[in-house]
Structure 1
Amino acid sequence: MSDVHKKWFYLILLSLIWGTSYILIKKGLRGFTPFQLGAIRILISSALFLIIGGKTLRNIGKNEWKWVIISGLIGSFIPVFLFAFAQTQIDSSIASILNSLVPLFTIIVGYFYFRTTFKGRQLLGVLTGLGGAVLLILIGSTMNPGQNYWYALLVVVATIGYAFNANIIKTKLSELTPLTIAVGNFSVMFIPAIFILYFSGVTDPEVLNGNFFYSSFGAIIVLAALSTCVAKVMFNRLIQLSSAVFSVSITYLIPIVGIFWGLMDGEPFEMQQFLAASLIILGVYLINREKIKKPTKV
């Protein structure tokens, strides 16, 4: 398979994997609490990463460990629980759309905290995307009065964490390989996850003997193995095979998969929500669109 075919293969497969994450979280919450789901997901992912690349931990220097820990907390540990809590009140399809805010917040965080610059077109993209997110939340709260759409802000906070993490990796951990960073991230999350799971009541008979215990546990295993471990390695490979602009195209495809699974599971999705979601995607497009260079006259 040529590199051209490989990059398209990875792009489509990653979209399917990450787009399916939100429905898997929803299924996992049928048998577990958000704390239990998050802790189990982290523990499984940590174990797999340590088995795959535990030896790479020796490559992390003393000065880099601080940033590895911060990266792990705000880029993986906290967002895992935020998404789980958010989806107790909002639909999985809405969560997948709001996750598209990551490129927008990456621009904002990079400018204010890491002194990176952005163009006027990108500023327009940020404002357009944020406007779409606000509309999506307001429309959703009106259409679903039984759901508490304040919980959608938890997803927004998670995307801000992802944005900080992206900038930290770019500016502070550029000397480490993606696998080393991932293994380091999850190695520091292992112990806290054990404590959270222990005090979460996961051993209560109501949980262990619940009707959805096995199906929910299976959903979490798939979520941890595919969406966290396999997808991270595949995305790193996609970046190596293609350009950064091509790689972020996944941002446009994930919500499509998330909405599809939501509709299949009976979640409502109206035209007003589609229009608001389109504003978010348009904002992401404006941020990542490269200006076409005119040929130089000889």
Structure 2
Amino acid sequence: MAMITTTSQPRASAIPLIVLVGTLVGGNFVLAKYVVTNGISPLVLFEWQVLGAGLALFFILAVRFRSDLVILGCRPVLIYSLVNGLLGVSIPQILSYFALQQVPAGLFTVLITLSPLLTFCVSSLAGRKLLPMRRLLGILIGLAGVTVATADWEASTNAGFLWLLAAALTPFFLALTNVYRERAMPAGANPLALAVGTLLSQAILFMPVTLFPDGGQLPLHDPARLHLAVLCLCAVTALSYVLTFELYRRTDGVGFSQVGYFVTLSGIAMGAFFFREPIRPWFAFSVLLLFLGMALSNRHLSIPHRRVPSGD
């Protein structure tokens, strides 16, 4: 059985990807809020999103990296795709889509900022040792930056307890996924193939939701714009998951968790632009704090070599 060994990537190269993935995911939440508030079921939207993104990436994989299709049939990749998809895609996405029907997009993205701190705690527990304090300091600086961005933010909402609970549980599952991906991701695998496996496994799992009455129909109100929003959501999802797996080859779960900070900043900015939600003048200063914290947390980071089977 052939084995693949990973090679270390320069840690500095992770920072642009952290920013880009966070921005894409923030845009994902804003698009989802627009769609679900216009009458599409969160479950149905989730199915369209992962199916559309998964099929698009599968087509690209088949055309450009046909030899990597075989990895989708490997048992480790199949198990990884299913578990990673449930923890990191299905559960947090569905929770967020239900929450966004009642919870302001800005408030929701603020809750996402808990993900890096939760990831630090879960990673320390899983490894049975406390991670370096330098990394915790970087996370706290980033959290301070987000706090500055959201200072005096109007967080009043009429959302009920269940909606707020769904929003609060989302960063917890994201933290679990960050640690699981770090420990279980098949090393050396094509990031595109892992993204395809993760998305299509969830599309198959949730396919029955399209059988619900009116499950595959768009609301009559402005269907053309909703079609465009769903297509954009699929495209953003496809790109963000490819970059997610590439980023995990360059940093660990704690480093990746800082994506949540840029999810918050982009969510606040896009929420202000599209939904006229409030934004504060200290926003630019918070960005500087985020980059400082991210540089400190990811400095001198080394990822151990791992080996995985490349075939059945």
Structure 2 letter corresponding to 1:89: Q
Identity rate, percent: 20
Conserved 8 A contact 2:178-2:257: no
For residues 140-219 of structure 1, what are the structure 2 equivalents within 5 Å? 143-148=155-160, 150-175=162-187, 176-199=189-212, 201-203=214-216, 208-219=218-229
Counterpart position of 1:296: none
State how far apart, in whole Å, the 2-side matches of 1:161 and 1:50 are.
Answer: 26
State how far apart, in whole Å, the 2-side matches of 1:69 and 1:121 are.
Answer: 34
State how far apart, in whole Å, the 2-side matches of 1:131 and 1:256 are.
Answer: 13
- State whether structure 2 residue 26 is matched by structure 1 residue 19: yes
Query: Compared with structure 1, are the counterparts of its residues 247 and 105 closer, same or farther at alpha carbon in structure 2 (3 Å cutoff)?
Result: closer
Counterpart position of 2:44: 36
State how far apart, in whole Å, the 2-side matches of 1:232 and 1:48 are.
Answer: 12
Equivalent position to 1:52, from 60, 66, 70: 60
Counterpart position of 2:304: none
Conserved 8 A contact 2:54-2:196: yes
What CA deviation, in whole Å up to 9, does each residue of 1:161-201 have, x standing for no partner? 22222222221223233223222212321222220122263
What CA deviation, in whole Å up to 9, does each residue of 1:208-257 have, x standing for no partner? 4521333223212111112x1112324555677x7779877654433222
For residues 1-298 of structure 1, what are the structure 2 equivalents within 5 Å? 13-29=20-36, 30-53=38-61, 56-59=68-71, 60-115=73-128, 117-122=130-135, 143-148=155-160, 150-175=162-187, 176-199=189-212, 201-203=214-216, 208-226=218-236, 228-237=237-246, 250-269=259-278, 288=297, 290=299
Structure 1 letter corresponding to 2:112: N
Conserved 8 A contact 2:82-2:198: yes
State how far apart, in whole Å, the 2-side matches of 1:220 and 1:284 are.
Answer: 34
CA drift at 1:121: 5.0
CA drift at 1:130: 8.6
Conserved 8 A contact 1:71-1:168: yes
> TM-score scaled to structure 1, two decimals?
0.72
State how far apart, in whole Å, the 2-side matches of 1:92 and 1:165 are.
Answer: 22
State how far apart, in whole Å, the 2-side matches of 1:131 and 1:149 are.
Answer: 27
State how far apart, in whole Å, the 1-side matches of 2:203 and 2:255 are.
Answer: 33
Structure 2 letter corresponding to 1:83: S
> TM-score scaled to structure 2, two decimals?
0.69
Tell me the SS of whatever aligns to 1:191. helix
Query: Compared with structure 1, are the counterparts of its residues 270 and 147 closer, same or farther at alpha carbon in structure 2 (3 Å cutoff)?
Result: farther
Aligned Cα root-mean-square deviation (Å): 4.3
State how far apart, in whole Å, the 2-side matches of 1:8 and 1:282 are.
Answer: 9
**Farther-moved stretch of structure 1 (11-20 vs 34-43):** 11-20
CA drift at 1:9: 7.1
Tell me the SS of whatever aligns to 1:265. helix
Conserved 8 A contact 1:126-1:283: no
CA drift at 1:267: 4.2
Structure 2 letter corresponding to 1:197: T
Query: How many residues were matched structurally?
Result: 278
State how far apart, in whole Å, the 1-side matches of 2:270 and 2:177 are.
Answer: 28
Structure 1 letter corresponding to 2:272: L
Conserved 8 A contact 2:87-2:177: yes
Query: Compared with structure 1, are the counterparts of its residues 11 and 77 closer, same or farther at alpha carbon in structure 2 (3 Å cutoff)?
Result: closer
Query: Compared with structure 1, are the counterparts of its residues 87 and 290 closer, same or farther at alpha carbon in structure 2 (3 Å cutoff)?
Result: same
Query: Compared with structure 1, are the counterparts of its residues 89 and 200 closer, same or farther at alpha carbon in structure 2 (3 Å cutoff)?
Result: farther
